[in-house]
Structure 1
Amino acid sequence: MSTHDQNSIEETPSHELHDPPKPKRTPLPRFQLFIVFLIQFAEPVTATVIYPFINQFVRDTGITRGDERKTGYYAGVIESAFFFAEALTVFQWGRMSDKFGRRPVLLLGPLGLSIFMLTFGLSNNFWSLVVSRCMQGVFNGNIGVSKSVMGEITDSTNIADAFALMPLNWSFGSTIGPILGGLLSQPAKTWPDLFGKILFFHQYPYFLPCAIAGLIAGVSGLIASIGLKETLPSAASQEKKRRAAAASSATPSATTGLLSGHDDPGYAAVEVNVPEPNTEAPPPLRKLLVRPVLMTLLVHAFLAFTDMSVQVLQPLVYSTSISLGGLGFDPYHIGSIMGIWGVVNAVFQLTFLGRVIRRFGARNVQKFAMLSYAIVLTLYPFLSFFAQRAGKADGFVYAIIVVQLTCAMSNSAAYGMLDHCVQRQDTDGYTAAIQILILEAAPNRASLGATNGMAQAVGSVMRSIAPSIASSLFSVSLQHQLAGGNMVFLVLLGVALTGLRISFLLPAPKSTS
């Protein structure tokens, strides 16, 4: 050995000689992820497109009999129906995907969503709205299956990167939804030169935004039917064997690639990270209720309830008359405000969220986000006070709206923490996802769909009861002038502070050395 080589070894730090090399990150299967995100994108769009106009839609059906204060009762039922139906079906969708495969289950969702978004826009009475909204929730219940697909097309080196993109997908969808609902509702009134002479849009003033949202869902399903590959290990293995058997029965030739030992490229990109099919049967539900998952779901439950309550109250307060404690905005202005905020929020997440998390830590960001909900709720009575004092939405009102929406940007960070940030770090300081923890906590791969379905169900249950509770409290507070009409904000403030306290239960990051 040369003197130069000996000196090189002596000068090399001992930890560099003995520490194992860091695993190389597998490139993300971008096209398959794009399809999965496209399917997921339909959920926030169809869930939020109705927010700018649903309160006015309810009044137009005549169910309130002219009493604007009752709007909250009925609007809350419609908004809850979506997530209630989703909560009832999401676990079964997961089970079905464990048995029949991910691809056929995922393809059913966009088809159903597109159909029942159309029926929602064509409804002319309250109960038809409820039925259509329920069916949208049923077909949206398979959204948890897409997370199983993400877990099966990635590995330990790139799964965090894949799940880190999910908040942007939701933010973008929840931005597009209100924009569509606000700008395209009542088109004959908003765009008289273009739609004013068409009788159909006078009879069905809310059909256009619903149709566009349904079209988005339908297009996502069409693209998925063409490009989405099966990822369930057992189903993918059977398909591979079938293709191999078909190839082996063919006459050998120079163009028969499979006979020379090459795999069929059609499924290679998906199967590269998929292990051999698990022969274990899906375990019973009690085997899924492990402590890390339960603790995570508890925090998620409070977050989902508080967040959904705030989302429902925003358009309800905006659309209520100033004399009753609201701001008197029409659907166009509501959609514009929600849309502008959605764009700013998406830019914030894309540009600053990662830096904020790295600078202050996931737990601190989570706690601050929950505190922000409390601030948002506290400011609603001030909105009412300044609007009534000026008789309109003046500069003070818009200043408070800006403060509220600024705080709401950190609320999105809370979902980022819960959907992808389990509070532990690997050797790169990379924060892993709570969703990843749920995937890892599954007893076996046969239970992957059921585990994700359970996680999705918890959020759906909270989102299903929050709109009815929040909007009903709003109506009760106005009708009986409880705490000057502000009782709803005081109750939900208590819930938000309780959620803040429970967020301290999230595990602290493991120290790295």
Structure 2
Amino acid sequence: MIRDFKMTDELHIGYYASLITSAFAMAQFISGIPWGSLSDRIGRKPVILIGLASTSIGVLLFGLSKSFLWALSTKIFSGLFNGNISVLKSMIAELTQNHSAEKRTRAFSLLQVTFGLGSIVGAALGGYLSEPVRKYPALFGHLGYITDFLIDYPYFLPCFLATCISSVCWLLVFFLSKETLYLKKKMDPEQQPLLPALVNPDPPTGIKDILTPQVIAMSLIYAIVAFQMLYFDELLPTWSATPKEAGGLGFQSGEIGTILSFAGSVMLFVQVFVLHRLTALFGLLHLFQLSLVSSALVFFAQGLCRLLYRIPDFHHEETKMWVWFGLVCCLTIKSLSQTIAVTTAVILLNNSVARSNTLGFINGFSQCCNAAMRTLSPAVAGFIWSSAIACYWIPLEIRAYISWGVLGCIGCMTFLYGTQLNPLHFNKPHNNHMNN
């Protein structure tokens, strides 16, 4: 799309594309807390309906982009008026507040699975349905005004289909979804508290009563984990595509696509079949800490895969076989660790909330921290990689490893910070410590 705007040369297309992505994340950073706080007052369902409606409108308008400014504006609009991520986390926390840690983990895992599947489906829609007249002339080349419209707006069709999907979701939420906000539920007479003054204390008087030390700590760790994931995801394809003599792996685009697909498949498998079982085995907090230390170790190991080129094959020639072996091992552990870290961080954050009437605000706050890191991380990864590779006075193998070493150090610091979390604030049964 950026190329079609004819506003820049080929070398700067990635820069402008990243601006659009960053604008959406920055808009979510601005709007996360207001939407979460609003859901604490009017309920989760109305905010979700507003978010889905804005998504439908924003995606449709994005498909009508004829300029960079229009595309940027629609992304900002979508980010500002879509607070669904934090509100959905609040809904799941409320739906599972009386369940075991294993069942809560499974519920939050399914939320992450839907995000993963949505990314796969969305990427497929964009890839296969953009520029339909050029790609499928037999199907779209003789439709009169429709053909002319699709030529003028070559990216409208995938956006229109995405809008239809979002609209169907809006109808499903409107007719089938139930409000989960505890304040709006009508309790049965037998469930009314005998001591309402104790169960319903005065609402928090200030921001310090809401953003407790454990909430702030967990929100920061969650944001740093997000930073690590995007840093890795930004660095991996760049490092893989860079020629071997320049510090990379020298992989082709198809090979890189295979790597990324494998990592995505492992993440989905872990979410569906593994995570809830590991939670029952280790407990939430211990599992989270294990995921942090394993993430740090795999970040350090990832950059060493390049050295596996030195292991010859049976004919004493250079081969990618051992490099592939190293990548598969590292990506398997990375996908396992980071998937566990993200999901358990969300659950631990919700476990640390002492008052249910602040749950939306706190999830909005954590989402703001997450969005800030998602905005910052790709730029930091690119800057460190470019700066390190350009330091020709440093030996090549060290230059090629600096970016991974920095990520590993960040992972170690995150783990050390995570070891300071007090289990009393995160592992006790959710329904016993969350008050209205």
Superposition TM-score tier, normalisation by shorter sequence:
0.7 to 0.9
Deviations 1:158-177 (Å, cap 9, x if unpaired)? 57623432123213422441
TM-score for both structures, normalised by structure 1:
0.64
Q: How many residues align?
A: 398
Larger Rg: 1
Q: What is aligned with 1:405?
A: 331
Q: 2:352 aligns with which of 438, 448, 460?
A: 438
The change in CA–CA distance for 1:468 and 1:176 in structure 2 (over 3 A counts) is same
Q: Does 1:66 align with 2:15?
A: no
The range that moved more, 206-215 or 83-92, is: 206-215
The change in CA–CA distance for 1:175 and 1:103 in structure 2 (over 3 A counts) is closer
Provide structure 2 residue ranges, at least 5 long, that are not aligned to the other structure.
142-146, 313-318, 429-436
Letter in 2 for 1:129: A
Q: Distance in 1 between matches of 2:238 and 2:185?
A: 47
Q: Distance in 2 between matches of 1:395 and 1:200?
A: 49
The 3-state SS of whatever aligns with 1:283 is coil
Q: Does 1:450 align with 2:361?
A: yes
The change in CA–CA distance for 1:153 and 1:170 in structure 2 (over 3 A counts) is closer
CA-based RMSD: 4.2
Q: Distance in 2 between matches of 1:321 and 1:112?
A: 43
Q: Distance in 1 between matches of 2:258 and 2:156?
A: 18
Letter in 2 for 1:139: F
Instruction: Compute the displacement of 1:63 (Å).
Output: 4.7
Q: 1:87 aligns with which of 29, 42, 55?
A: 29
Q: What is aligned with 2:415?
A: 500
Letter in 2 for 1:131: S
Instruction: Compute the displacement of 1:350 (Å).
Output: 2.4
The change in CA–CA distance for 1:299 and 1:336 in structure 2 (over 3 A counts) is same
The range that moved more, 297-306 or 70-79, is: 70-79
Q: What is aligned with 1:232?
A: 181
The change in CA–CA distance for 1:470 and 1:215 in structure 2 (over 3 A counts) is farther
The 3-state SS of whatever aligns with 1:113 is helix
The change in CA–CA distance for 1:476 and 1:365 in structure 2 (over 3 A counts) is closer
The change in CA–CA distance for 1:170 and 1:272 in structure 2 (over 3 A counts) is farther
Q: What is aligned with 1:366?
A: 292
The 3-state SS of whatever aligns with 2:419 is helix
Provide structure 1 residue ranges, at least 5 long, that are not aligned to the other structure.
1-56, 241-261, 387-392, 421-433
Structure 2 counterparts to residues 73-112 of structure 1, below 5 A: 73-112=15-54
Q: What is aligned with 2:168?
A: 219
Q: Distance in 1 between matches of 2:421 and 2:138?
A: 53
Q: Does 1:140 align with 2:82?
A: yes
Instruction: Compute the displacement of 1:112 (Å).
Output: 0.9
Instruction: Compute the displacement of 1:334 (Å).
Output: 6.6
Q: 1:161 aligns with which of 100, 103, 109?
A: 103
The change in CA–CA distance for 1:111 and 1:319 in structure 2 (over 3 A counts) is farther
Structure 2 counterparts to residues 256-335 of structure 1, below 5 A: 278=200, 280-314=202-236, 327-329=251-253
The 3-state SS of whatever aligns with 1:133 is helix
Q: 1:462 aligns with which of 341, 366, 373?
A: 373
The change in CA–CA distance for 1:316 and 1:222 in structure 2 (over 3 A counts) is farther
Q: Distance in 1 between matches of 2:392 and 2:150?
A: 38
The 8 Å contact of residues 80 and 468 in structure 1, kept in 2 or not, is answered as no
Q: Distance in 1 between matches of 2:64 and 2:240?
A: 25
The change in CA–CA distance for 1:318 and 1:137 in structure 2 (over 3 A counts) is farther
Letter in 1 for 2:167: G
Letter in 2 for 1:135: F
Q: Distance in 2 between matches of 1:500 and 1:226?
A: 44
Q: Distance in 2 between matches of 1:72 and 1:227?
A: 41
Q: 1:415 aligns with which of 342, 350, 355?
A: 342
Deviations 1:464-498 (Å, cap 9, x if unpaired)? 22233334545556778796674544543433333
The 3-state SS of whatever aligns with 1:165 is helix
Deviations 1:423-482 (Å, cap 9, x if unpaired)? xxxxxxxxxxx033233x3xx333232222222222222222223333454555677879
The 3-state SS of whatever aligns with 1:185 is helix
The 8 Å contact of residues 114 and 214 in structure 1, kept in 2 or not, is answered as yes
% identity of equivalent residues: 25
Q: What is aligned with 1:36?
A: none
Instruction: Compute the displacement of 1:236 (Å).
Output: 4.0
Q: Distance in 2 between matches of 1:203 and 1:394?
A: 44
